[in-house]
């Protein structure tokens, strides 16, 4: 059977740095609150003219360059995002056009913080079945355009950031490849983390007599999300270990979705592993939803934290709820 491997990664974040201090000038919060509750020191916010597509495009060019591949060899594009430039079609269609990739299949995946692993899993299946050879997989968000940046929205405003990460997934006969992916969803929790509108449910459109502005911004039940995250992350990491007959001691690095440093600490605690095998860059970028894992993976590679032959695990949890893991032999 065919296998697939990641042959190149890249990321891009907007220039506009927003520190905790900047936020506390505008809303009722503090550097101390944000750092102790989340580990975040600063994040990037895309300025008005920068869109999710712009970030995705730049991250893709970096991944293509690092992979050393001719872009014309790419035969599919998958983009994970919840903040596409347009309601429809997806960012993937804009990327296909901007990269000059003549009529190849391109689609978006809306699985929030798990969207990069969901997309990676889909890419892996297409390669395993022989239907594709080189797939561009992207996680990208300019989501801070959607959030309420007043004190009312402070629980969310301080956590989230913008950015994009991209990977080129290629068919391989190598001993290094994506070993497994496991995907989950529990839709009964939709309302614990969602943006209700715009949508097609009653009252979720811009009708004069029915317009509720609060519906048009993300809302989160932070404590519930936190509780579920610290349960599901270890579960899905263990699922990957059991499936691949690996022990946690075989894992060089766990790259979790960067939701909250305290969540990562709690996961390490539950799994009885040292925090030095749990990658974190949340202090610099906050929670970038679908972009957080590919950004973290790119930085981990650049920092020499992953070398050929290492086993790593990617893991995510977020809105839906969705959660997922990928085990990779690098």
Residues lying near ligand UT7 in the complex (CB under 6 A):
29, 33, 37-38, 113, 154-155, 158, 193, 222-223, 225-226, 229, 259-260, 263, 287, 318
As given in the structure block, the two tokens for residue 99 are 């990269």
Decide whether 179 or 314 has the Cβ nearer to ligand UT7.
314
Q: Shortest distance, CB of residue 154 to ligand UT7, whole angstroms?
A: 4
Residue 154 burial class via C-beta count within 10 angstroms: exposed 0-12, middle 13-18, buried 19 and up: buried
With CB atoms as reference, the residue minimizing the distance to ligand UT7 is: 222
Does residue 64 sit in helix, strand or coil? helix
Among 66, 134, 287, 311, the one annotated catalytic: 287
Q: Shortest distance, CB of residue 241 to ligand UT7, whole angstroms?
A: 22
DSSP letter, residue 252:
E
Q: Is position 257 annotated as part of the catalytic site?
A: yes
Q: Are 181 and 124 in contact (CB under 8 A)?
A: yes
Decide whether 168 or 271 has the Cβ nearer to ligand UT7.
271
Among 57, 182, 257, 311, the one annotated catalytic: 257
Pairing of strands 3-12, 163-172: antiparallel
Decide whether 46 or 76 has the Cβ nearer to ligand UT7.
46
- According to DSSP, the residues that pair with 137 across neighbouring strands are 78, 167
Q: Shortest distance, CB of residue 38 to ligand UT7, whole angstroms?
A: 5
Among 113, 182, 260, 311, the one annotated catalytic: 113
Q: Is position 287 annotated as part of the catalytic site?
A: yes
Peptide bond connecting 198 to the previous residue in cis, omega within 30 degrees of 0: yes
Q: Please name which of 293, 308, 252, 253 lies closest in space to residue 5, comparing C-alpha atoms.
A: 308
DSSP codes of every residue in 77-106: EEEE-SS-SSSSS-HHHHHHHHTT-TT-EE
Q: Is position 283 annotated as part of the catalytic site?
A: no
DSSP letter, residue 129:
T
Decide whether 75 or 155 has the Cβ nearer to ligand UT7.
155
Q: Are 52 and 85 in contact (CB under 8 A)?
A: yes
Decide whether 106 or 225 has the Cβ nearer to ligand UT7.
225
Q: Shortest distance, CB of residue 263 to ligand UT7, whole angstroms?
A: 6
Decide whether 182 or 232 has the Cβ nearer to ligand UT7.
232
Q: Shortest distance, CB of residue 108 to ligand UT7, whole angstroms?
A: 18
For helices 292-302 and 115-128, the axis angle rounded to 10 degrees is 80
- Rounded distance, CA 72 to CA 80, Å? 21
- Tokens 């349960």 — which residue? 231
Q: Shortest distance, CB of residue 149 to ligand UT7, whole angstroms?
A: 11
Question: What residues act catalytically?
Answer: 113, 257, 287
């Amino acid at each position: 059977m065919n296998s697939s491997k990641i042959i190149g990664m890249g990321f891009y974040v907007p220039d506009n740095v927003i520190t905790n201090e900047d936020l506390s000038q505008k809303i009722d919060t503090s550097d101390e609150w944000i750092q102790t509750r989340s580990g975040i020191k600063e994040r990037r916010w895309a300025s008005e003219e920068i869109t999710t597509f712009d970030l995705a495009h730049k991250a893709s060019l970096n991944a293509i360059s690092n992979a050393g591949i001719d872009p014309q060899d790419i035969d599919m594009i998958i983009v994970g995002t919840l903040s596409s430039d347009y309601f429809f079609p997806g960012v993937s269609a804009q990327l296909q056009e901007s990269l000059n990739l003549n009529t190849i299949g391109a689609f978006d995946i809306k699985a929030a913080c798990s969207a990069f692993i969901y997309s990676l899993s889909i890419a892996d299946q297409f390669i395993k079945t022989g239907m594709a050879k080189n797939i561009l997989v992207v996680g990208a968000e300019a989501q801070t355009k959607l959030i309420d940046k007043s004190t009312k929205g402070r629980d969310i405003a301080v956590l989230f950031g913008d950015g994009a990460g991209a990977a080129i997934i290629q068919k391989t006969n190598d001993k290094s490849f994506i070993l497994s992916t496991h995907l989950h969803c529990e839709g009964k929790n939709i309302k614990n983390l969602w943006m209700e509108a715009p949508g097609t449910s009653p009252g979720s459109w811009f009708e004069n007599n029915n317009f509720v502005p609060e519906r048009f911004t993300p809302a989160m039940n932070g404590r519930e999300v936190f509780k579920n995250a610290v349960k599901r992350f270890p579960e899905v990491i263990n699922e990957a270990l059991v499936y691949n007959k690996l022990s946690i001691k075989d894992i060089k690095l766990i790259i979790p979705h960067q939701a909250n440093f305290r969540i990562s600490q709690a996961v390490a605690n539950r799994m009885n592993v040292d925090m030095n095998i749990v990658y974190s860059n949340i202090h610099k970028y906050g929670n970038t939803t679908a972009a957080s894992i590919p950004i973290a993976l790119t930085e981990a590679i650049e920092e020499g934290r992953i070398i050929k032959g290492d086993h790593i695990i990617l893991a995510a949890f977020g809105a839906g709820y969705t959660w997922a893991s990928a085990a990779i032999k690098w």
